[in-house]
Amino acid sequence: MKEAVQYSETQKPLSLWRNRQFLLLLSGSSISNLTFYLFTLALPIIIYELTTSTLAMGTMRAIEFLPNLLLAIFIGVIVDRFSRKKVLLSSVSVQAIALGMIIVILASSHLQLWHLYCLGFILYTASYTFGNAYHTVLPLIVGKAQLASANSIISFSQTTIRLVGPALAGVILLVLNYIFGLTITLIGLLCLLLFTCLLKVPEDQTLHAEKKSIFADIKEGWNCLLANKELWHLTIMVLLSNIASAATLAILVFYALDSMKVIESQLGIILSGSAVGGLIAALIAKKITKWIKRGPLFLLSLGLESFGYLLLFFSFDWYWLAIGMFFNGFTGGIINIHYFTLRQETTPNHLLGRVAGTSSMMMKLAVPFSFLSVGALGEVIPVHYIFLGSCLLTILIILYLAKTPVAKMK
């Protein structure tokens, strides 16, 4: 039996602001994302107080990326094999249980580093699982023509939270202790669990009719990604673009502090430049396609991104760094919104979890590669030349993309 009616291509969908299912999904995830900043801020401080070790803090940061790098493909199979709503509910429940165990152990004064490593890995794995299922549920509850608008609204919410979340979390943790702060995060997860319980998803659209091996499922998702030429080339584009972006972010703070001699308030403005750019991108991402086709829009965005890196390279004062980061956030927002929308529009929904998992794993592989290579390069060349390297790499991406079917996309 269907829990909800999936929109057909000929049926006029409700306004997104009157679509109860979309609002439930958006509201629940927004509350959880905002309160999760308390966990994000408290965790490294707790680890520091336990160990006073930068290695321990760096290891915890690496654990955050592991589910995406190691398990994304398998998580995609799970999302495509089982009821999407049950996957959402299960992943939120696991997050809440893992966080609840951290709170209990912390309150008992028996917390050890390995507790955080193990429970943190479980929590981040469940979080990525929720994100994958979230991405696949969206096309089931909104009309196809609304996907770009829906992704823009979600991006605007996430960017706004990224802008205000750390400051709000800092104030709360200053007034309250870690246990109360983490409890607020747990309450946010419970709110997400409640909203997800109320969510209605067309269950018959999300189940596998044919039982296959896990590796057969993985191969099917991989073949689907390869067969979609535009999506495949865009995935390569995002992978290479992530290398440039991660390389820039890896040395930005060091360059600002060491070469520009910025103070804390100036550094905050520099880092906020990216979030402001992302907010504006979320506001205009859907509207801009009225004047420019999607293919040329990707090329134009990359061109603006390379210009932003060039501003960083030639910057002679801190506010030029802020302007450069604005371009980085703006173009990243435009590219992400339309990439996610295209992936949802062109991928059969029963394959979307696997295609999303496969492409996400490929794109995130760039992050550790960039951090390692930039760390080595920074020891032998002036660090601002890394900005120039990011600019040149982005230009090469434009030249590559211009020769693919992406350039002719409507």
Angle between helices 72-81 and 214-227 (to 10 degrees): 100
Q: How many residues does the chain have?
A: 410
Give the whole-angstrom CA distance, residue 211 versus residue 192: 31
State residue 206's pLDDT score. 44
Give the whole-angstrom CA distance, residue 343 versus residue 234: 10
Query: Which domains are delineated in the chain?
Result: 17-201 (1.20.1250), 219-405 (1.20.1250.20)
Q: What is the pLDDT of residues 7-54, one digit of tens each?
A: 444 455 668 999 999 999 999 999 999 999 999 888 888 888 888 777
Task: Indicate if the pLDDT at residue 211 is higher than 70.
Answer: no
Higher pLDDT, 209 or 288: 288
- What average pLDDT score do residues 190-218 get? 80
Q: What is the pLDDT of residues 379-409, one digit of tens each?
A: 778 888 889 999 999 999 999 999 999 988 8
Angle between helices 385-402 and 366-377 (to 10 degrees): 140
Q: Which of 253, 385, 396, 365 minimizes the C-alpha distance to 309? A: 385
Residues 6+ apart with CB under 8 A from 260: 315, 317, 318, 321
Q: Which of 328, 322, 319, 315 minimizes the C-alpha distance to 390? A: 328
**Which pTM value belongs to this model?**
0.86
Q: Which of 230, 176, 258 minimizes the C-alpha distance to 359? A: 230
- What average pLDDT score do residues 121-131 get? 96
Residues 6+ apart with CB under 8 A from 161: 30, 33, 34, 37
What is the sign of the dihedral through the CA atoms of 165, 167, 172 and 173? positive
